Structure 1
Amino acid sequence: MITFRYPTITTKTMKELLKIPNFLKLDVFCMNRILENFDIETFYNYMKKNKTTFVWLKFVDPMSEEYKNRLENIIDEIIATKKFDYKPPYIYFPGLDGEKYETLQKLYFLPLNF
Protein backbone atom coordinates (compact mmCIF):
# COMPACT_ATOMS: atom_id res chain seq x y z
CA MET A 1 0.00 0.00 0.00
CA ILE A 2 1.24 3.46 -0.88
CA THR A 3 -0.42 6.62 0.43
CA PHE A 4 0.52 10.15 -0.60
CA ARG A 5 -0.74 13.42 0.87
CA TYR A 6 -0.15 16.65 -1.00
CA PRO A 7 1.56 14.76 -3.83
CA THR A 8 3.46 16.44 -6.60
CA ILE A 9 3.28 13.80 -9.27
CA THR A 10 4.00 15.16 -12.70
CA THR A 11 4.07 13.34 -16.04
CA LYS A 12 7.72 12.47 -15.49
CA THR A 13 7.09 11.17 -11.96
CA MET A 14 4.19 9.01 -13.07
CA LYS A 15 6.20 7.49 -15.91
CA GLU A 16 9.06 6.72 -13.52
CA LEU A 17 6.69 5.05 -11.06
CA LEU A 18 5.34 2.85 -13.85
CA LYS A 19 8.87 1.59 -14.54
CA ILE A 20 9.07 0.05 -11.05
CA PRO A 21 7.97 -3.60 -11.42
CA ASN A 22 6.38 -3.82 -7.97
CA PHE A 23 4.34 -0.67 -8.56
CA LEU A 24 2.04 -2.71 -10.80
CA LYS A 25 1.51 -5.23 -7.99
CA LEU A 26 0.34 -2.86 -5.27
CA ASP A 27 -2.81 -3.78 -3.35
CA VAL A 28 -3.79 -0.16 -2.67
CA PHE A 29 -2.67 3.16 -4.12
CA CYS A 30 -4.09 6.15 -2.25
CA MET A 31 -3.52 9.83 -2.96
CA ASN A 32 -5.16 12.64 -0.99
CA ARG A 33 -5.15 16.37 -1.66
CA ILE A 34 -4.10 15.99 -5.29
CA LEU A 35 -3.49 19.15 -7.28
CA GLU A 36 -4.09 19.77 -10.95
CA ASN A 37 -0.47 19.04 -11.86
CA PHE A 38 -1.21 15.33 -11.40
CA ASP A 39 -0.94 13.56 -14.77
CA ILE A 40 -4.42 12.06 -14.86
CA GLU A 41 -4.08 10.82 -18.46
CA THR A 42 -1.03 8.64 -17.81
CA PHE A 43 -2.49 7.42 -14.54
CA TYR A 44 -5.88 6.61 -16.06
CA ASN A 45 -4.23 4.52 -18.77
CA TYR A 46 -2.26 2.65 -16.09
CA MET A 47 -5.34 2.17 -13.94
CA LYS A 48 -7.38 0.62 -16.76
CA LYS A 49 -4.66 -2.00 -17.31
CA ASN A 50 -4.08 -2.81 -13.65
CA LYS A 51 -6.13 -5.68 -12.27
CA THR A 52 -4.66 -5.82 -8.76
CA THR A 53 -4.66 -2.32 -7.28
CA PHE A 54 -7.45 -0.51 -5.48
CA VAL A 55 -7.09 3.15 -6.46
CA TRP A 56 -8.24 6.03 -4.24
CA LEU A 57 -7.81 9.57 -5.65
CA LYS A 58 -9.04 12.68 -3.86
CA PHE A 59 -8.45 16.04 -5.55
CA VAL A 60 -8.59 19.54 -4.05
CA ASP A 61 -9.13 23.06 -5.33
CA PRO A 62 -7.90 25.19 -6.93
CA MET A 63 -8.58 23.33 -10.13
CA SER A 64 -9.38 24.62 -13.61
CA GLU A 65 -12.74 23.89 -15.20
CA GLU A 66 -10.90 22.04 -17.97
CA TYR A 67 -9.29 19.66 -15.47
CA LYS A 68 -12.59 19.15 -13.62
CA ASN A 69 -14.28 18.40 -16.94
CA ARG A 70 -11.64 15.79 -17.76
CA LEU A 71 -12.08 14.16 -14.35
CA GLU A 72 -15.84 14.15 -14.84
CA ASN A 73 -15.45 12.55 -18.29
CA ILE A 74 -13.29 9.82 -16.77
CA ILE A 75 -15.87 9.27 -14.03
CA ASP A 76 -18.68 9.11 -16.62
CA GLU A 77 -16.70 6.51 -18.56
CA ILE A 78 -16.17 4.42 -15.42
CA ILE A 79 -19.85 4.62 -14.45
CA ALA A 80 -20.92 3.63 -18.00
CA THR A 81 -18.69 0.54 -17.95
CA LYS A 82 -20.77 -2.64 -17.86
CA LYS A 83 -17.98 -5.13 -17.15
CA PHE A 84 -14.70 -4.11 -15.58
CA ASP A 85 -11.31 -5.46 -16.63
CA TYR A 86 -9.82 -3.41 -13.78
CA LYS A 87 -10.79 -2.51 -10.24
CA PRO A 88 -13.07 0.54 -10.32
CA PRO A 89 -11.39 3.49 -8.61
CA TYR A 90 -12.64 5.86 -5.98
CA ILE A 91 -12.29 9.41 -7.34
CA TYR A 92 -13.46 12.62 -5.70
CA PHE A 93 -13.04 16.29 -6.50
CA PRO A 94 -14.84 19.42 -5.21
CA GLY A 95 -17.96 19.97 -7.25
CA LEU A 96 -18.47 16.32 -8.23
CA ASP A 97 -22.16 15.50 -8.64
CA GLY A 98 -23.48 13.68 -5.55
CA GLU A 99 -25.10 10.85 -7.53
CA LYS A 100 -21.89 10.19 -9.45
CA TYR A 101 -19.95 10.22 -6.19
CA GLU A 102 -22.28 7.64 -4.65
CA THR A 103 -22.15 5.45 -7.76
CA LEU A 104 -18.34 5.49 -7.72
CA GLN A 105 -18.33 4.55 -4.04
CA LYS A 106 -20.61 1.57 -4.73
CA LEU A 107 -18.44 0.44 -7.63
CA TYR A 108 -15.26 0.79 -5.55
CA PHE A 109 -16.67 -1.25 -2.70
CA LEU A 110 -18.28 -3.97 -4.85
CA PRO A 111 -18.20 -7.31 -3.02
CA LEU A 112 -16.41 -8.83 -6.03
CA ASN A 113 -13.44 -6.56 -5.31
CA PHE A 114 -12.66 -8.29 -2.01
Structure 2
Amino acid sequence: SVRWGDDAEGIPALTPNPGSRHLMSGHRGWQWYLFANVEGYYMAQNLTLDGNTFRDSHSVDREEWVAEASAGLAMAWEDWQVTYAAVQRTREFDGQDEQDKFGAITLTRRF
Protein backbone atom coordinates (compact mmCIF):
# COMPACT_ATOMS: atom_id res chain seq x y z
CA SER A 1 0.00 0.00 0.00
CA VAL A 2 1.07 3.56 -0.56
CA ARG A 3 -0.46 6.89 0.40
CA TRP A 4 0.60 10.45 -0.44
CA GLY A 5 -0.98 13.70 0.67
CA ASP A 6 -1.91 15.88 3.65
CA ASP A 7 -1.30 14.31 7.06
CA ALA A 8 -0.95 10.85 5.50
CA GLU A 9 -1.49 8.15 8.14
CA GLY A 10 -3.20 5.08 6.70
CA ILE A 11 -5.06 3.56 3.76
CA PRO A 12 -8.85 3.24 3.61
CA ALA A 13 -10.22 -0.28 3.26
CA LEU A 14 -13.10 -0.90 0.88
CA THR A 15 -14.83 -3.01 3.47
CA PRO A 16 -16.72 -2.01 5.47
CA ASN A 17 -16.07 1.72 4.99
CA PRO A 18 -13.76 3.03 2.23
CA GLY A 19 -13.69 6.65 3.36
CA SER A 20 -13.07 6.55 7.06
CA ARG A 21 -12.60 10.14 8.26
CA HIS A 22 -10.35 9.03 11.13
CA LEU A 23 -7.54 8.68 8.56
CA MET A 24 -7.37 12.49 8.39
CA SER A 25 -5.65 13.97 11.43
CA GLY A 26 -6.59 17.65 10.95
CA HIS A 27 -9.95 19.29 11.60
CA ARG A 28 -9.75 22.59 9.69
CA GLY A 29 -9.50 23.54 6.02
CA TRP A 30 -8.97 21.38 2.96
CA GLN A 31 -7.12 18.08 3.21
CA TRP A 32 -6.50 15.44 0.60
CA TYR A 33 -4.59 12.26 -0.13
CA LEU A 34 -4.08 9.74 -2.93
CA PHE A 35 -3.85 6.05 -2.21
CA ALA A 36 -3.06 2.77 -3.94
CA ASN A 37 -3.25 -0.75 -2.58
CA VAL A 38 -2.55 -4.28 -3.84
CA GLU A 39 -3.58 -7.34 -1.89
CA GLY A 40 -4.15 -11.04 -2.34
CA TYR A 41 -6.15 -13.47 -0.29
CA TYR A 42 -7.05 -17.13 -0.06
CA MET A 43 -10.77 -17.88 -0.23
CA ALA A 44 -11.49 -21.03 1.75
CA GLN A 45 -15.28 -20.82 1.25
CA ASN A 46 -17.44 -18.48 -0.82
CA LEU A 47 -21.10 -19.24 -0.30
CA THR A 48 -22.13 -17.36 -3.45
CA LEU A 49 -19.84 -19.49 -5.64
CA ASP A 50 -19.64 -22.77 -3.68
CA GLY A 51 -23.34 -23.08 -2.95
CA ASN A 52 -24.84 -24.55 0.19
CA THR A 53 -22.31 -25.75 2.76
CA PHE A 54 -24.39 -28.60 4.18
CA ARG A 55 -26.08 -30.11 1.11
CA ASP A 56 -25.79 -30.23 -2.68
CA SER A 57 -26.73 -27.06 -4.55
CA HIS A 58 -25.68 -25.03 -7.58
CA SER A 59 -22.00 -24.10 -7.63
CA VAL A 60 -19.12 -23.20 -9.95
CA ASP A 61 -15.44 -24.13 -10.00
CA ARG A 62 -13.74 -21.17 -8.38
CA GLU A 63 -10.27 -19.77 -7.93
CA GLU A 64 -8.95 -20.18 -4.39
CA TRP A 65 -6.44 -17.30 -4.68
CA VAL A 66 -7.74 -13.85 -5.62
CA ALA A 67 -5.81 -10.58 -6.08
CA GLU A 68 -7.15 -7.05 -5.95
CA ALA A 69 -5.70 -3.63 -6.81
CA SER A 70 -7.31 -0.32 -5.86
CA ALA A 71 -6.44 3.35 -6.22
CA GLY A 72 -8.24 6.51 -5.35
CA LEU A 73 -8.50 10.00 -3.95
CA ALA A 74 -9.90 11.37 -0.69
CA MET A 75 -10.74 15.04 -0.13
CA ALA A 76 -11.95 16.58 3.13
CA TRP A 77 -13.25 19.92 4.33
CA GLU A 78 -13.86 20.53 8.03
CA ASP A 79 -15.83 17.44 9.20
CA TRP A 80 -16.78 16.14 5.71
CA GLN A 81 -14.85 13.76 3.48
CA VAL A 82 -15.54 12.28 0.03
CA THR A 83 -13.52 9.30 -1.18
CA TYR A 84 -13.41 7.67 -4.62
CA ALA A 85 -11.75 4.29 -5.16
CA ALA A 86 -11.37 2.30 -8.40
CA VAL A 87 -10.92 -1.45 -7.91
CA GLN A 88 -9.90 -4.31 -10.18
CA ARG A 89 -10.08 -7.93 -9.01
CA THR A 90 -8.77 -11.07 -10.70
CA ARG A 91 -11.22 -13.69 -11.99
CA GLU A 92 -12.95 -15.53 -9.16
CA PHE A 93 -14.33 -18.58 -11.01
CA ASP A 94 -13.73 -20.69 -14.12
CA GLY A 95 -15.57 -19.34 -17.16
CA GLN A 96 -15.72 -15.76 -15.89
CA ASP A 97 -15.53 -13.57 -19.02
CA GLU A 98 -13.39 -10.80 -17.55
CA GLN A 99 -12.02 -9.47 -14.28
CA ASP A 100 -14.34 -7.53 -11.98
CA LYS A 101 -13.89 -3.75 -12.12
CA PHE A 102 -15.88 -1.32 -10.01
CA GLY A 103 -15.74 2.04 -8.31
CA ALA A 104 -16.88 3.21 -4.90
CA ILE A 105 -17.79 6.72 -3.73
CA THR A 106 -18.18 7.36 -0.03
CA LEU A 107 -19.30 10.52 1.76
CA THR A 108 -18.54 10.63 5.49
CA ARG A 109 -19.00 13.16 8.27
CA ARG A 110 -17.21 13.31 11.60
CA PHE A 111 -19.49 13.76 14.64
Q: TM-score category by the smaller chain?
A: under 0.3
TM-score when normalising by structure 2? 0.27
User: Normalized per residue, which structure has more helix?
Assistant: 1
- Structure of larger gyration radius: 2
Which structure dedicates a bigger proportion of its chain to strand?
A: 2
